[in-house]
Amino acid sequence: MATLCRPAIRVPEHVITMEQTLELARTLHADHPQLGLVLRLIENTGVRTRHILQPIEETLRHPGFTQRNALYESGSKRLVPPVIEEALDYAQLRPKDIDLIVYVSCTGFLMPSLTAWLINTMGFRSDTRQTPIAQLGCAAGGAAINRAHDFCLAYPGANVLIVACEFCSLCYQPTDVGIGSLLSNGLFGDAVAAAVVRGEGGTGIRLERNGSHLVPDTVDWIAYGVRNTGFHFLLDKRVPKTMEMLAPALRTLAEQHEWDVSGLDFYIIHAGGPRILDDLCRLLSLKPAAFRYSRATLEERGNIASAVVFDAMARLFADGTQVDSARGVIAGFGPGITAEIALGSWTSARTAQDERLVAVNASLSSDTSLSGEHATAEVP
C-alpha cells in the first residue's frame, strides 16, 4: 500500500506577531466603524506569529499584480527546491524515483506550472507526470494526498512527490476593508511544504481510503474576486459554521471503512481557524488535545492554506509517539465548500520483499497441511 512519508516544511524569514498585526489594524484602519470587532476577531484567531515572504513594509505596498506574481515565481523557485530535497531524503528516494509531481498553490499563477521548471532543474525524469492544482484553496493539501493515493493504486510501486507552495501575503489588498478581508489579514501566513507518497516501503501513514465531499450551494462562501489588482479573498460570515455540514462526511467515510472517527489515534485537520477546530471537536466528541498538531500550526504559522495539513503532519512525525497500526484521519477544507479526507494507519518502513514475506508467512501459517511449528518463508 502507498505510504505518506514525513513532510518537509519551509517558512520565509520575515515574521509578524499578533501584537504587530493588531497595531497595524489600529493604525491603518483607525476610522473603521467596526474596528473593535475586527481587533477582537484577530485576537480570537490565536495566531501568535506568521511568516511572510517580504518585510511587512513591502507587504503592505501594492506594486501591481505583475510584480506580485513575479515575487511569487522568484519566491517559489528559491524555497521549493530545498524543501523537496528534504522530503526526498525523508522518503529515502532520489528525483529519478518520482513518477508524478502534484503541485498545489492558490496564491500565484505560472504557466507552464512550476512542475516543468522542477523537472528541468532538479534531476526528475522527463517522463515524470505533472498534476498542478490551483483552485481548491486550503483543501488542496488533502486533495494532493488523495490524488497521490489514487495514482499509487492505479500504478502499484509508483512514487509521488507532493509540493504545496502558498504565499498568502501576496494576496493582501489594502483597499479591501470588509470584516472578512481584515480578519484574513491577521490569519493567513506563508509556507512551502513537500512530502512523498511511496508506492512501496517507507515509514509514515499507510493510506487506506480517501473521499471528497462538497456542500451544495456554498460556492460563493470562500472565493477569489480576480481583478486588475490580482486575487481578492472573499470570505462569507457563514464559513465558521461549516463543520456542522462537514463533520458528518468525516464520520461517514470512517464508517465505510469500519472505523469510528471519534476513536482514532491521530487527527491531522486543516487549521482554518480556532472555531473550525473547536466545533469539530464538539461534533466528533473529541477532546481539544486531539487536534494539538493543527492548533500548534495555527498558533505558530497561521492559516498557511494547502500547506497546513503537511505542517501539522510534520509535528505528528516529530512527536515520535505513534506505534504501528495507529489509525488516523487527514482532512483539508476549502472553497466549494469542499472537504478532502484520507484515512490511514501508521507503519514502519517495509520493503516490497518484506510485504511479500508477510503475505507468504500468513498463507503458510493458515495451511492445514503443514505439521509442527509454523513454517517460515524465505523470499529471495
pLDDT string in tens for the chain (380-residue length) = 899 999 999 999 999 999 999 999 999 999 999 999 999 999 999 999 999 999 999 999 999 999 999 999 999 999 999 999 999 999 999 999 999 999 999 999 999 999 999 999 999 999 999 999 999 999 999 999 999 999 999 999 999 999 999 999 999 999 999 998 999 999 999 999 999 999 999 999 999 999 999 999 999 998 988 998 989 988 888 888 899 999 999 999 999 999 999 999 999 999 888 999 999 999 999 999 999 999 999 999 999 999 999 999 999 999 988 899 999 999 999 999 999 999 999 998 654 445 554 455 545 544 433 333 333 333 33
Residues identified as active-site: 138
Give the per-residue pLDDT at 367.
47
The SS3 assignment for 18 reads helix
Write out the residue limits of the CATH 3.40.47.10 domain(s) in the chain: 3-202, 205-347
**Cβ neighbours of residue 243 closer than 8 Å, sequence gap 6 or more:** 276, 279, 280, 283
Q: What superfamily does domain 205-347 belong to in CATH?
A: Thiolase/Chalcone synthase (3.40.47.10)
The residues near 70 (Cβ < 8 Å, ≥ 6 apart) are none
CA distance 173 to 59: 10
For residue 360, the model assigns a pLDDT of: 52
Phi, then psi, of 6 in degrees rounded to 5: -60, 130
- β-bridge mates for residue 16, sequence order: 50
Q: Which three cell numbers stand for residue 61?
A: 505596498
Query: 339 pairs with which residues across the strands?
Result: 213, 333
Neighbour count for residue 276 (Cβ, 10 Å):
23
128 vs 148: CA distance, rounded Å? 13
Name the phi and psi angles at 27, rounded to 5.
Answer: -75, -45
Q: Are 378 and 354 in contact (CB under 8 A)?
A: no
Question: What's the confidence (pLDDT) of residue 66?
Answer: 95
Q: What is the CATH class of 3-202?
A: alpha beta
Distant-in-sequence, close-in-space partners of 62: CB < 8 Å, separation ≥ 6: 68, 172, 173, 174, 229
Q: Is the dihedral of CA 93, 115, 65, 175 positive or negative?
A: negative
